[in-house]
Amino acid sequence: MPASSRRTVLTGLGLVTPLGPTTTATWDALRAGQSGIRPLQLFDAKNLPVRFGGEVQGFDIRAYIPKENKDGRKQIKVMARGIQLAVAAAQVALDDGKVDKAKLDPARFGIEFGSGLLATELEDLAEAAKLSVLPPTWKVDLDKWGGEGRPLIQPLWMLKYLPNFLASHISILHNAQGPNNSITQSDVSSLLALGEAQRIVLRNQADFMLVGGAESKINSLSFARNCLFAPLSRRNDAPQKASRPFDKSRDGLVIAEGGAVVLLEDLAHAQKRGAHVYAELVGFGSSFDLKHDGRGIARAVRAALDEAGVTPEAIDHVNAHGLSTVGADRAEAQAIREIFGERAVPVFAAKGALGSIGAGSDVAELGLSLLALASGSLPATLNYDEPDPACPVAVNRQPHAVQKPHFLKIGFNELGQCAAAVCRRWEGR
């Protein structure tokens, strides 16, 4: 893209994860070595082959929308759980960034969000289905569906499950009238959203943006589908040990839910309002991994490093995608090895503790590295017990003292879309 004198900084962070309902709770639990993976409680999974995941326990969206915001509370009835998690994370980020929305120009306030497939809650269609699916064939009687079943479905039913409604609800709640986009590329969605948001600010089309992603597959329909088609870990007897990024005994990913949002601002805008700056986003790259062998991941990393103007030696640690499946971890490890060579750059994989939050994963994980930059210490990767010779990377088994100002975040999805971002600790210049 054309050179720009503008710079983009990250000034607020909102995390709602299986480790905790706020950024502080998530960070404290991670530093304490806790896992967010537990037996499922949101629905009865006793007849499924996988009965655990990463739930945000005790989550109540009303705790994140002020009582005086009556319009916002009315919107809850048309928010699926994934949308609610996004709305909650956005509020946590705005609070963390100490944002006075009255002083923002609404037309320069944008939203860029990653979203996944929002699965219908069965109770929304249950009564209509009972009337319309009849024994002994159990086929749908379309006459009954249209005549008797359809009136039982809430008129606004579909509005709960549109993937662009994460961004839409947040925009309405916070009067964001600037650029508004949704990216639906499964696990890499929020990292791609971050890259696009940076481009928007650098093009001088916005000054302030809420960027992130959220997803929940912890419902009976979505979870059953993933049990059939996704490479899930089956460690029902030891769920906290199930997500094992890069470990030799890894046997599949762990489904989780959550929301993650960062505030991305033009530097001059952030300085004018006296914002605290976590880091500067200095490089971004994306690519496609055609053969799923890590070469596409490596291309995205090179592009991000080139844009940041740094060499691999400048990177303190790699915040890995770390999906915990055999093939994905092998490809990512080969990409890291291709970029960094024999140098043992520390590799951190947050999914060991969080599981896979889907469209919210990348920004949630990037947020943990932002907190590591601020605190000077990166927590250990959970469940990395035995190195895999096919994954020749230096996963941090112990907390890592952050010594260099840059870190690298990697993200990709099962179809081959890849992204990478480089952030630099803010030192006031």
DSSP 155-221: TTGGGGG-TTHHHHHHHHHHT--S-EEEE--GGGHHHHHHHHHHHHHHTTS-SEEEEEEEEE--SHH
Q: Count other C-beta atoms under 10 Å from residue 64's C-beta.
A: 23
pLDDT at residue 427 in the model: 87
CB 110 within 8 A of CB 178: yes
227 found inside a domain: yes
Same domain? 367 vs 356: yes
Same domain? 162 vs 139: no
Q: Using alpha carbons only, what angle is made at residue 265 by residues 261 and 270, rounded to the nearest 5 degrees?
A: 120
pLDDT at residue 2 in the model: 47
| pLDDT: which is higher, 371 or 155 | 371
Average pLDDT over residues 21-37: 98
Same domain? 256 vs 311: no
97 found inside a domain: yes
Q: Which band of pLDDT confidence, cut at 50, 70 and 90, is reported for residue 122?
A: confident
Nearest-angstrom CA–CA distance, 221 and 135 = 22
Q: Average model confidence (pLDDT) for the chain?
A: 95
277 found inside a domain: no
CB 407 within 8 A of CB 422: yes
CB-based burial label for 257 (10 Å; 0-12, 13-18, 19+): buried
- What are the C-alpha distances in Å from 134 to residues 122, 145, 154? 17, 11, 22
Average pLDDT over residues 230-236: 97
Domain, as residue range, for 421: 283-425
Instruction: Give percent of the chain above pLDDT 90.
Output: 87
Same domain? 338 vs 398: yes
50, two tokens: 């996988």
Lowest mean pLDDT among 3-7, 22-26, 58-62: 3-7
Provide the CATH number for the domain around residue 367: 3.40.47.10
Same domain? 168 vs 49: yes
Same domain? 254 vs 331: no
Structurally, the chain folds into a number of domains equal to 3
Average pLDDT over residues 389-409: 97
Last residue of a domain, one of 228, 251, 272: 272
Lowest mean pLDDT among 30-39, 122-131, 292-301, 373-382: 122-131
CB 47 within 8 A of CB 128: no
Same domain? 190 vs 232: yes
pLDDT tens track for 383-395: 999 999 999 999 9
Last residue of a domain, one of 227, 247, 272: 272
pLDDT at residue 35 in the model: 98
The model carries a pTM of: 0.95
328 found inside a domain: yes
Q: What is the dihedral of CA 173, 374, 321, 399, to 10 degrees?
A: -140
Same domain? 111 vs 131: no
Same domain? 81 vs 188: yes
2 found inside a domain: no
CA Rg, the chain, in Å? 21
pLDDT at residue 80 in the model: 93
Same domain? 106 vs 127: no
pLDDT tens track for 310-356: 999 999 999 999 999 999 999 999 999 999 998 789 999 999 999 99
Same domain? 92 vs 15: yes
310 found inside a domain: yes
223 found inside a domain: yes
Same domain? 389 vs 404: yes
Nearest-angstrom CA–CA distance, 405 and 426 = 8
pLDDT at residue 71 in the model: 84
Last residue of a domain, one of 238, 272, 306: 272
179 found inside a domain: yes
Strands 208-216, 180-183: pairing is: unpaired
Which residue do the tokens 């070469």 mark?
A: 295
